[in-house]
Amino acid sequence: MGTINERKRADGTKAYSAQISLMRDGTIVHRESRTFNDRGIAKSWIEKREKELAKPGGLDAAKIGKETLGDAIDKYIATSRKKIGRTKEQVLASLKGMDVAKKRCAEVTSQTIIDLAEELQAGRKPQTVNNYLSHLQAVFAVAKPALGFALDPAAMDGAMEVCKRLGLIRKSEERGRRPTLDELDKLMKHFGVVESRRVGTAPMQKIIVFAIFSTRRQEEITRIMWDDREPGRVLVRDMKHPGDKKGNDTWCDLVPEAERIIDSMPKVAKEMFPVSTDAISAAFTRACYATGINTEEMPDDERLHFHDLRHDGVSRLFEMGLNIPQAAAVSGHRSWQSLKRYTHLRHTGDKYAGWKWLDEVTKQGDQ
């Protein structure tokens, strides 16, 4: 049932606020209001709207256009057939907490998204802002045809183009950072002490060596099962790819050094490396600062990241004389174009020839 509330405006005239609230099983399922200058007109509007809402489909029709961007994000996450990656889920959750998520879908324009990009710039690089908008763009792409939300993908595409021209967003730059043998020596000594003092801690020495020679990402390392191995190769589950984040299982070749690490691992779980991605990331980051490899004053592109081990491993393959197809068989790259930057290396030979730590971490006594 509707109600009418009378109030006096600043100019002394009266206003009549007509409100309608519909309840189902004790819960309000619809609410709307309008303000009139005449009580009789307000009453007539209530009677008319209540009849319209009572008709079959009337309530659903009233809801159209009232969904917010936040509602669309929720529906996108809930109905996605593919499992959403952790980074994407975190980004969408962050966007849900911003004021833009409260806007009605029909009100989200290109300017709205450009304003969002400017807001996101605070404390973030253009590459990071680009990641935020790219994940939001995925919501826009399916919102109207698949989810029934009035988000305009053309508005999103237009905003992305403007943001590029304004320098608000740009693609991530290719990192060229590689660990030196001296830096690796510091890390291996550090983790040797940690592992000797803490029983059951993550075998970071072996994980580091395996990451280099296998060229595997940390997420991929943690997903490898003992059943995923065959002579000379391993099944990499959910390999990262722009089009297929999940379910992209790929067989990759194993170089002899990577196989030696696997052979040295004890079979204590179904996974070869029963460690979480977060544990690897946290341990590696702490070690880099503890050993002085990284400092707070350093620019990010000078700091060593775990992913740089993969870059070093792929670079090593080319330095040893492998061609693009041979290197791709190890790294799992689908596009040879993405491997071209590794083919112009000036150094030749095996950086890790005679490296003491390979023998150290695979010796029988460490098992």
Q: In whole numbers, what is the pLDDT of the chain averaged over residues?
A: 87
Residue range 20-41: average pLDDT?
83
How far apart are the C-alpha atoms of 69 and 106, rounded to whole Å?
Answer: 9
Please report which confidence band the pLDDT of residue 137 belongs to, taking 50, 70 and 90 as the band edges: very high
Tell me the CATH class for 181-366: mainly alpha
Instruction: List, for residues 75-85, the tens digit of each pLDDT value.
Output: 898 887 677 77
Sheet order of strands, 233-236 included = 229-230, 233-236, 250-253
How far apart are the C-alpha atoms of 138 and 142, rounded to whole Å?
Answer: 7
Residue range 168-187: average pLDDT?
89
How far apart are the C-alpha atoms of 144 and 140, rounded to whole Å?
Answer: 7
What token pair was written down for 303? 């700091």
- pLDDT of 256 higher than 50: yes
How far apart are the C-alpha atoms of 105 and 116, rounded to whole Å?
Answer: 14
CA separation (Å) from 141 to 59, 95, 150, 182, 364? 27, 17, 11, 48, 54
CA separation (Å) from 12 to 25, 30, 333? 41, 32, 73
Please report which confidence band the pLDDT of residue 175 belongs to, taking 50, 70 and 90 as the band edges: confident
Domain boundaries, the chain: 3-63, 69-166, 181-366
- pLDDT of 207 higher than 90: yes
151 backbone dihedrals φ, ψ, rounded to 5°: -100, 135
